[in-house]
Chain A
Amino acid sequence: MCKNEKPINFKPPRQKAALDDLDQYVNMAEGRMSRKVFWERDIYEQELEKIFARVWLFLGHVSQIPKAGDYVTTSMGEDDVLVVRQKDGAIKAFLNTCPHRGNRVCFSEVGNARGFICNYHGWSFGIDGALRGMHESGAYEASGFDKSQHGLHEVAQVDSYKGLIFGTLDPAAPPLKEYLGDFAWYLDTLLDMDGEGTEFIGGCVRSVMKCNWKFGAENFAGDVMHAGWTHDSGAKAMLGGAVPELDKCAGDSYHVNVNGHGWEFNLDKVGNSATFGDKEVRRYIHEIQPKVAERLGHTRSMMIGSISSATVFPNMSFLPGQNTFRVWQPRGPDEIELHTWTLVNKSAPEEIKERYRRGTMITFSPSGVFEMDDGENFEYSTRSNRGRVTREQDLFLGLGIGTRIEHPELPGNVFQGQINEANQRAYYQRWLDFMKAESWDELPQR
């Protein structure tokens, strides 16, 4: 080595994710987007701030916490939260962290408590989050400590829509009803078939996928196209045949979206319910459909069990009629926790609820014959992007550009044909809207 030669600097200049020019990542008019939104750490950190710290996020179902003191723990983005039923029946949520030194306050997933006591120095909180007392309380009194200033940090707003509890960490967020907007009209086909409401079967299945959180959410927002291919083996096992080619009956099938929330469906009434290969469940759907038609009209009654899937922006998804219900919780740009439950009509016979519990488990759970093939797709759609050059190659999501229609009955943006990527485009457009908007006023209505 020559003496005046400088040592080689192996550290390449840091790739700065150009957050000031987010438009470069998502071009929905052309149906293409950058892979970097599935990989770059800077973008992910912005998502936690611009999306998860602001929007209404699913926290649980009212049936999980019926009595005062009942609680569940969950998370909003990567912020751990504790959701607690109050004495007056209201629901509050708190960051699950002690205001003293920051230890986690509640270590169980679910239960009933008269209060929560921190393991570290013994601060104890009421179910309303107020600091009630401390171990060695004399020392605090001597320091002029004001207990009323040191309760659990409360989630800014908590509200529910027909049994589903949502919260937002942003005091400036518009009301939940406004956030759901016209999408509530569709949600009623799931939540309000007979006016008696819904409930979760007890328990939750939680698993880790090494994928970006948006892959699951966009898949449920609109990607029925993958069903016939990815899930061919599951369909053949459960139904003894392949998934029908859905494009052949596009006339009665749609993509609809409202402010990034997406629902793809046809009107075959029982297609999703049929995935259990259980004729009693199909019979149940056939039986209730006429009553749902009286309440919600014919069109929505044909959606209750049809081939369909949906996502409420940003990360809550479900399959109508099949009734798997899930949240894709972000854990870094390349990892999620998937939390799944089974949702049933409260009025359904016990035997039907049991069939749903077993049905969702054998189809859409980590051991399910359908879901088993999803994980690898989501993981490798994420992981491939570790390649520096790979990451520069845009992705295509232009299917169905130009299929938008006016529909006399269906609210929101309606697109003809279930085999479509309209909802995925709307989803990423909304993602871009939130990432760019400094305030709720800047957010366009979509």
Chain B
Amino acid sequence: MTITTEIAGRSAVDAATAYQLETFLKREARLLDTERYDDWLAMLADDIHYWMPSIESRRRANNGGATHLPGRMAYFDDFMEHLQKRVARFKQPTAWAEDPPTRHTHVISNVEAYAGEAEGEYLVYSTFVNYRSRVETDNDLLIGRRTDVIRATQDGLRLARRKIVITQTLLQAKNINTFL
């Protein structure tokens, strides 16, 4: 019996590559859970674009009901410089909302990987559950989907593009003091 991973003309990556990509995403999640932000930055390509649009509810008759479009308000629409600045804040001793530390868990699932558009790049879909806790009763749950471009380089895999789409139009939290 042959197992084919071809769906709608696209071929999923082979098992060994899938394993590497999945391990990359799991490692990333663990680094974020443990506030190893410099190590996290090192997993990103220099030309990273990290985008988390704000979600709008529109009727299907308007723009096909699209919940997000480029160039509009967003939570993140960052290149490397802005991501570094965000990390710089996390590391300040006066980042009051991080002391005592926020307790994070990032759960990654539904990983699905294909060959990307450029040589050596992969298109990787995943879903995430992010649970953050502070003080006694501040528990914030975010669930969404990600579309990544992950690039194979001489130094290993690097995240080159990420789009994060959450389900909430009204963010049920006072902030997003993490990366997703």
Interface residues, chain A, CB within 8 Å of chain B?
A: 107-113, 201-210, 230, 232-234, 236-238, 277, 337, 340-342, 354, 357-358, 361-362, 365-367, 369, 371-373, 375-376, 378-380
Contact = CB atoms under 8 A, between A and B. Distances in A.
A158 B15 CA distance: 62
B71 A237 contact: no
A201 B171 contact: no
Contacts of A367: 52, 75-76, 86, 175-177
Contact of A208 (B85, B93, B174): B174
Contacts of A237: 85-86, 88-89, 92
B62 A111 contact: yes
Interface of B: 52-54, 56-59, 61-62, 69, 71-78, 82, 85-86, 88-89, 92-97, 134-135, 138, 169-177
Contacts of B62: 108, 110-112
Given A358-B82, A366-B176, A109 B75 contact: no
B71 A202 contact: yes
Given A206-B169, A210-B174, A373-B95, A201 B72 contact: yes
Contacts of B82: 358, 362
Contacts of A207: 170-175
A236 B88 contact: yes
A109 B95 contact: no
A298 B82 CA distance: 34
A371 B175 contact: yes
Nearest to A340: B73
19 contacts: A113-B61, A201-B72, A202-B71, A202-B72, A203-B53, A204-B54, A205-B171, A232-B94, A236-B88, A236-B92, A237-B86, A237-B89, A237-B92, A342-B73, A362-B82, A365-B75, A373-B95, A375-B175, A379-B174
Given A208-B171, A337-B170, A366-B75, A203 B54 contact: yes
Contacts of A342: 73
Contacts of B72: 201-203
A113 B62 CA distance: 9
Nearest to A238: B85
B89 A372 contact: yes
| Interface class of chain A by DSSP | mixed
A315 to B, nearest CB: 17
B89 to A, nearest CB: 4
B85 to A, nearest CB: 5
B58 to A, nearest CB: 5
Q: Pick the most buried of B72, B169, B172, B175: most chain A CB atoms within 10 A of its CB.
A: B175
A372 B92 contact: no
A233 B73 contact: no
A206 B170 CA distance: 5
A361 B76 contact: yes
A362 B93 CA distance: 19
Contacts of B176: 366-367, 372
A373 B58 contact: no
A108 B73 contact: no
A209 B96 contact: no
B26 to A, nearest CB: 23
Contacts of B96: 230, 233, 373, 376
A231 to B, nearest CB: 9
A378 B82 CA distance: 26
A357 B92 contact: no
Given A205-B54, A238-B85, 17 more contacts: A203-B69, A204-B73, A205-B75, A205-B171, A207-B170, A210-B174, A236-B89, A237-B86, A340-B73, A362-B82, A366-B75, A367-B52, A367-B76, A369-B89, A372-B177, A375-B97, A376-B97
Contacts of B53: 203
A373 B88 CA distance: 14
A76 B59 CA distance: 23
Nearest to A210: B174
A249 to B, nearest CB: 22
Contacts of B86: 237, 362, 367, 369
A112 to B, nearest CB: 6
Nearest to A209: B174
A274 to B, nearest CB: 14
Contacts of A107: 57, 59
A205 B172 CA distance: 12
A237 B52 CA distance: 21
A208 B72 CA distance: 20
Interchain residue pairs A-B with the least CB separation, the first 10: A375-B174, A203-B72, A203-B73, A233-B92, A237-B89, A233-B95, A237-B88, A232-B94, A207-B171, A111-B62
A233 B85 CA distance: 10
A232 B56 contact: no
Contacts of A376: 96-97, 134, 174
Nearest to A239: B85
Contact of B174 (A234, A236, A366): A366
Contact of A361 (B59, B75, B175): B75
Contacts of A202: 69, 71-73
B59 A111 contact: yes
B175 A208 contact: no
A233 B175 contact: no
Contacts of B58: 108-111
Contacts of B169: 109, 206
A208 B57 contact: no
